[in-house]
């Protein structure tokens, strides 16, 4: 189960890097609507492939979140469930926000009923939709921040995963919560992303290479079941 969790965690990270770091950052210029529009029109298939990657990211992250629930349930059923629910809600918000990601491609594809808008207006509208997509993702990040904080606390309390992974999660979760005030979140985004990526890679490598300490996990499951029976 731990290794499968690591696989879906890896898919989540790779899909996000391709969609955001490789495609969106290359094609979108947040300061110039006309350049952004020209890039999207010239690379329409690539831009739409970014949407595909975003969807793969969200499906993988949803699965990963539920698997983490199963892995951490022996520590605290309630805490693990709360982290999972908040995380899945965040995935839903982020997935829905990608409607605004694909909207610029629709606006700029030359649909006849949009001929009443000038080229400059269509370009501005396309960039506006993209920025709405970014704002939706920022809202989702707040949910991920709370979920990650709880997950980090559970990992630290567990006896079958390294505590350092929990501390990475706690620091990352605090970083994501900076988006409670978006101007601060965007200002710190580069540093937050770097810390989050480092923690994610450490967790992925550990899960894929070592999984969990099965003996201690089983002991904690039995201890939890004993408390429920008593």
pLDDT of residue 228: 54
Q: What angle do CA 145, 20, 123 make, to 5 degrees?
A: 115
CA distances 21 to 6, 24, 28, 101, Å, are 21, 6, 11, 14
| Contact predicate 198/172, CB 8 Å | no
pLDDT of residue 227: 62
Question: CA–CA separation, 108 vs 121, rounded Å?
Answer: 10
Q: Which residue has the tokens 């990608």?
A: 98
Q: Which residue has the tokens 């370009």?
A: 123
Q: How many residues does the chain have?
A: 230
Q: Which domain holds residue 177?
A: 2-229
Question: CA–CA separation, 42 vs 46, rounded Å?
Answer: 9
Residue 30's CB: how many other CB atoms inside 10 A?
A: 10
pLDDT of residue 64: 97
C-alpha radius of gyration, the chain, whole number: 20
- pTM reported for the whole predicted model: 0.91
Question: CA–CA separation, 64 vs 70, rounded Å?
Answer: 10
Helix axes 44-72, 33-42, angle to 10 degrees: 90
pLDDT of residue 221: 77
pLDDT of residue 226: 62
How many structural domains comprise the chain? 1
pLDDT of residue 112: 84
Residues 6+ apart with CB under 8 A from 2: 71, 207, 211, 212
pLDDT of residue 203: 95
| pLDDT in 10s for each residue of the chain, 230 residues | 999 999 999 999 999 999 999 999 999 999 999 999 999 999 999 999 999 999 999 999 999 999 999 999 999 999 999 999 999 999 999 999 999 999 999 999 888 888 889 999 999 999 999 999 999 999 999 999 999 999 999 999 998 999 999 999 999 999 999 999 999 988 998 898 898 899 999 999 999 999 988 888 888 877 776 665 45
pLDDT of residue 136: 95
């Amino acid at each position: 189960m731990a290794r499968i969790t690591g696989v879906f965690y890896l898919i989540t990270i790779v899909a996000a890097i391709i969609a955001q770091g490789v495609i969106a950052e290359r094609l979108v210029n947040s300061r110039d609507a006309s350049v952004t529009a020209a890039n999207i029109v010239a690379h329409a298939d690539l831009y739409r492939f970014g949407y595909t990657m975003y969807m793969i990211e969200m499906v993988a992250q949803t699965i990963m979140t539920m698997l983490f629930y199963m892995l951490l349930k022996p520590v605290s059923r309630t805490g693990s469930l709360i982290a999972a629910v908040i995380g899945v809600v965040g995935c839903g918000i982020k997935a829905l926000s990608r409607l605004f990601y694909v909207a610029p491609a629709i606006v700029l594809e030359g649909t006849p009923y949009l001929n009443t808008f000038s080229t400059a207006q269509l370009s501005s509208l396309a960039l506006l939709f993209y920025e709405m997509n970014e704002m939706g993702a920022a809202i989702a990040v707040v949910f991920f921040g709370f979920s990650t904080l709880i997950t980090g606390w559970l990992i630290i309390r567990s006896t079958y995963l390294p505590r350092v992974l929990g501390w990475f999660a706690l620091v990352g979760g605090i970083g994501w919560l900076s988006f409670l005030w978006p101007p601060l979140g965007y200002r710190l985004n580069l540093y937050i992303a770097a810390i989050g990526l480092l923690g994610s890679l450490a967790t992925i490598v550990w899960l894929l290479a070592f999984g969990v300490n099965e003996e201690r996990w089983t002991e904690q499951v039995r201890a939890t079941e004993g408390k429920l029976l008593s």
